[in-house]
Amino acid sequence: MRFCLNVDHVATLRNARGEAQPDPVTFALMAEQYGVDGIVVHLREDRRHINERDVRLLKELITTKLDLEMAAVDEIIEIACDVQPELATIVPERRLELTTEGGINVIDNISQLRQAIKTLHQSDIAVSLFVEPDLNQIDAAAEIEADIVEIHTGHYANAVGEENIFDELERVRIAAKHAKKLGLGVNAGHGLNYINMKEFVAIPDIDEVSIGHAVIARSLFVGLEQAIKEMIKITGMNK
Ligand code: PXP
């Protein structure tokens, strides 16, 4: 299973002072040296953490791949087409949320998303849709020619009690299998950490995980190199 690191939280810390440090771009370059398979950033409409300068520099400097999380709105689509990340992951976005709260409703937004995918494809950008582990949403993603679905793992991460955890993991497992059968690439993310990844990594149909908070938080205690290597040890169990 590939492991891509989301560095948004480094930008949050930088912006707390309104100065240049810590620089998420430098952080991403170091993360690549320690073995991550890609870098993820979310360019939000309100620019609360990552900004355009970060995205442009990342695209220029990183040597793995850039996954740009974004809302399907004209301003951000235009920037994406200009920067050309290797992957655009379309997420729902609300100004008041602390973080992305759930998958995008593909069925209810099908014509807007179809158009966004078409525009991004015209610029040779692969497109992933961040969706709930819901077979109907995944069918809709395939219908409008998404390349990948990223399955929202927040319910699994927040589940309490053995039975609930098992049920949520099953939902993700079934959704991943279904997406693979339709020919989609399968990513997953949100709330994954060093503990819940131990069972998660056994799901055979997931190609890649996108993890931010747990790894950035751990790096404060043990340093970035160790935080990354510990996660690679887990994700590497399913390669
Ligand atoms: N995937 C998506 C689509 C997200 O929005 C986020 C949160 O930015 C993540 C993955 C990473 O979540 P976390 O920071 O909880 O690892």
Query: What's the pLDDT tens digit per position in 59-88?
Result: 999 999 999 999 999 999 999 999 999 999
Give the pLDDT confidence of 200-239 residue by residue, as tens digits: 999 999 999 999 999 999 999 999 999 999 999 999 987 6
187 Cβ closer than 6 Å to some ligand 1 atom? no
Q: pLDDT confidence of 96, banded at 50, 70, 90?
A: low
Cβ contacts of 34 within 8 Å, gap of 6 or more? 224, 225, 228, 229, 232
Determine the distance separating the centroid of ligand 1 and the alpha carbon of 81, expressed in angstroms. Answer: 22
Number of domains in the chain: 1
* 100 touches ligand 1 (CB under 6 Å): yes
**What pLDDT, on a 0 to 100 scale, did the predictor assign at position 95?**
65
Cα 154-7-224 angle, rounded to 5 deg = 105
Mean pLDDT of the chain: 96
Atom of ligand 1 nearest to the CA of 89: 3
CA dist list (Å): 100 to 62, 151, 191, 229, 231: 25, 13, 11, 26, 22
What tens digit of pLDDT does each residue of 149-182 get? 999 999 999 999 999 999 999 999 999 999 999 9
Q: How far is the CA of 115 from the centre of ligand 1 (A)?
A: 24
| Ligand 1 site, residue 6, Cβ cutoff 6 A | yes
pTM above 0.85, yes or no: yes
Residue 69 annotated among the catalytic residues of the structure: yes
pLDDT attached to residue 101: 73
The boundaries of the domain holding residue 149 are: 2-238
Query: Strands (DSSP E) along 15-85, which ranges?
Result: 38-42, 66-70
Is the C-beta atom of 3 inside 6 A of ligand 1?
Answer: no
What 3 state SS string does 89-147 have? EECCCCCCCCCCCCCCCCCCCHHHHHHHHHHHHHCCCEEEEEECCCHHHHHHHHHCCCC
Banded model confidence at residue 56, pLDDT cuts 50, 70, 90? very high
What's the CATH number where 110 sits? 3.20.20.70
The number of angstroms, rounded, from the C-alpha of 187 to the middle of its chain's C-alpha atoms is: 8
pLDDT at 98 over 90: no
